[in-house]
Structure formats: structure tokens, C-alpha cells
A and B are shown apart, each in its own frame.
Chain A
Amino acid sequence: MSHAYGSKIVGVVLKACMAASIVALIIGLTLYSASPAPSSEIDVSSLPRGLLIGDAMAWLALGLLMVIAAPALRALAVLTVFLREREMLLAAITVATLTLLALAIWIGVNE
């Protein structure tokens, strides 16, 4: 399998994440311009209901969560490519990156 295959998969994942977040952010900003109510809070548990009732903040939160999910999903895609290519050392390094990333987020959120 060539390096080009891995690059193609990673490119598709990044473009899909970007497109999905752009849609959510545009919907959110459009709803926000109709009834501005500034907020900095993200309540994940009430996100599905907020999206259904057309809450601007829920759509903005979804879009922003998709923005920050993109690099992690990209790393997952890279991991699947390395596993498929039987590049075990690179796969192990990528698992280490994902683990460290999860640890960094956990430490930061619980500090």
C-alpha cells in the first residue's frame, strides 16, 4: 500500500470534519443573528434537544466540538492506515499520541 493511500484517507477525514463543522457553525450563527443570546457554556447532555428545537447555542457548540474533534479523528484515521499497512511501530506511536491527548484533556478539564 502506498503513502498516497494514507494521505487520501486522512484528506477525506479532514475534509469531512471541516464540511460538517462548517454546516453546524453556519446554522448556529444564522440562528444566533435572529435572536442573539451570548453564551460560553457547553452542556453536552442537553445538546440533542437543543439541536432539535433550533437553539443557536446548541448548533454553535456542536460545530465547535466538531472543530476540535477533527485532529483526534485524523489521528484515528492514521492509526487505521498504519494497522492496515502492518506498520506496528508507527501504529504504537499513534496510540501513544491519542492516549497522551486524552490524558492532557482529562488533566486540564479536571484541574
Chain B
Amino acid sequence: MDPLTAAGMMGVAALAGVAGALFGIGGGIIVVPALSLLFGLDMHEAAGISLVGIVASSTGAASRYVGTGQANIRLAAVLEPLSVVGSLAGASLSLHAGQSWLAAAFAVMLAYSAIAMLRRKEAAIEPERARGKLAGRYIDGKTGQLVEYCPVRPARGAGASLLAGATSGLLGIGGGLVLVPAMNLWMRVPIRAATATSNLMIGVTGVAGAAIFLAAGMVPLAEAAAVALGAYVGASAGPALAARVSAENIRKWFALLLIGVAALMAMRAAGVLS
């Protein structure tokens, strides 16, 4: 790998890190196609490097978000085990399940979440209801206002976490695309806290995959190092950018991202994309 390639990979990873930090998605959706299409890496190598990048992105973003109180460590702790179970089950099922049907179902689910996020306003939580073990509070970087909330419907959130892990294992798509809308729409977690908490969680879900790829000798070390460094830079800068954007716009952009991924999944289901 020459210095120019290393710089290019770092740049792509930094971009993915910013997007990952902003939306709580890890950035694999940018890194995998970029590494295979722009840098000519084999898909397995790209996937392994991307997993390392996702873990780095999670650490970089979460290290900032926990300090501001936006990442809810208690909520993450409750949802994490089911997400790991889901990813284990998903990875096993992926060997037997029809990928095109799964991709089609996932596309419908993402499109539904996107429409719901665009149509429904974020549900406000009365301060007196924002109590409980999973409650959180933070200062909104854009408005300077104190935001207090308490997640509701924990059972639905747990189900979504299981589903997020399963889709991650089944389709190789980051669980954040499922977790963030589920936390925001079902559990009434504000979008900033949902993306920040997702950033904290995706590191744990990504670790198992990254360790497996590294142990199998499928990750070129120098390229992975360049991607990890770029992801750290992008993910560390992402929270500062997120603070300048209104929560309403983050929600709209996230919905548009969901529509984009739903379209990609629909193409995959139709056999247009592999």
C-alpha cells in the first residue's frame, strides 16, 4: 500500500466516521463499497476492514457522546445482549435463508421506518415523566436546552435490538439502521440520544465479527490500520458537527438515508446488485 492509497483510505474512513457518528450507523455502508470499488480490495477483505473501522468509529464517537450525556450507558447495557444474540443467530441463519427475500423484507421495513420518521414529529416527554433507571438527560448542542427523557416500551426496544443484531448477521447491514428508528419511534428516545446510544452499542456488536476476520487472517493489517485511524478522526469530529445540526434535520437526513438503503436492498432483492 503506497502513501497515496493510505491517505485515500483514511479519507474514506473519516467520511464514514462522520456519517457513522451523526447517524449511529458505523459507516460500513460507505467503507465496504469504497474499498472494493475504489481500491480494488476483495469483498471479504473489505468486509473485515470495515468491521475494524466500525469498531473504531464506535469508540471515537462514543468517547465524545458519553461525556455529553447523549449516549445512555444504561439503555445500551439493557439492549446489548439481545443484539449480540441476534447477530449470532443471524450469522447462522444466513447460511440457510434466502437472501433475496430477506433483503426485500428489510427494504420494506426500512421504507416504513423512513416514512414514519418523516410523518411523525418527535414525541416530547414531559419532564415529570422523565424518571426511571433508564432515564437520560443532556443539553441539546444546537438549542442549548436541557432535554430529559425516559425510554418507554422496553420490551419492544429489546425486540428491535434482537432484530438489529439479526439483520446485521443476516445481511451484513449495520444494526444502527434498525436500532435508531426503533429507539426514536417506539421507545421515544430523542434522536440525538438514539444515535449516540447506537454508536455506543455497535462497537460491541462489531467486535465479534472483527475478531473473527482478524483471527482468520482475512484483514490486511496496514489497510485496516489506515481505515481505523481515519474512522477515529471522522468519528471524533462527527459529534461536534451533529451539535450544529438541529435534531429535526438529523431525523430528516436519517429518514433519507433509510430510503437510500431501502432502495439498495430492493435492488439486491431484485438481483440487480449482488
Contacts and interface: CB of A to CB of B under 8 A. Distances in A.
Do A and B actually bind? yes
Contacts of A39: 220-221
Given A64-B214, A70-B203, A71-B203, A38 B1 contact: yes
Given A40-B220, A105-B208, A11 B81 contact: no
Interface size class of A (residues with CB under 8 A): 35 or more
Contact of B63 (A14, A33, A104): A14
B97 interface: no
B239 to A, nearest CB: 12
B69 to A, nearest CB: 6
Contact of A68 (B3, B211, B218): B211
Contacts, number: 168
A108 B88 CA distance: 9
B24 interface: no
Contacts of A48: none
Interface string A83-103: 000010010011011001101
A10 B124 CA distance: 28
Dominant SS at the A interface? helix
A47 to B, nearest CB: 12
Contact of B66 (A11, A82, A109): A11
Given A7-B69, A10-B73, A100-B88, A26 B229 contact: yes
A14 B136 contact: no
A67 B52 contact: yes
A3 B207 contact: no
Interface size class of B (residues with CB under 8 A): 35 or more
A64 B84 contact: no
B6 interface: yes
A17 to B, nearest CB: 6
B224 A64 contact: yes
Contact of A105 (B1, B74, B207): B207
Interface stretch (B53-61, B102-110, B266-274): B53-61
A108 B67 contact: no
Contacts of A67: 52, 55-56, 59, 210, 228
Interface string A62-79: 011101101110110010
Given A7-B67, A38-B220, A63-B225, 16 more contacts: A7-B73, A14-B63, A14-B66, A25-B229, A38-B1, A38-B222, A64-B52, A70-B55, A70-B59, A71-B204, A71-B207, A72-B207, A74-B200, A75-B80, A104-B87, A105-B211
21 contacts: A6-B73, A7-B67, A10-B62, A18-B232, A29-B222, A40-B220, A42-B215, A56-B222, A64-B221, A67-B55, A70-B59, A70-B203, A71-B58, A71-B204, A74-B62, A75-B80, A90-B78, A97-B81, A103-B88, A105-B207, A108-B209
The 8 tightest CB contacts between A and B, nearest first, are A108-B212, A71-B203, A104-B208, A14-B63, A60-B221, A100-B84, A70-B59, A11-B66
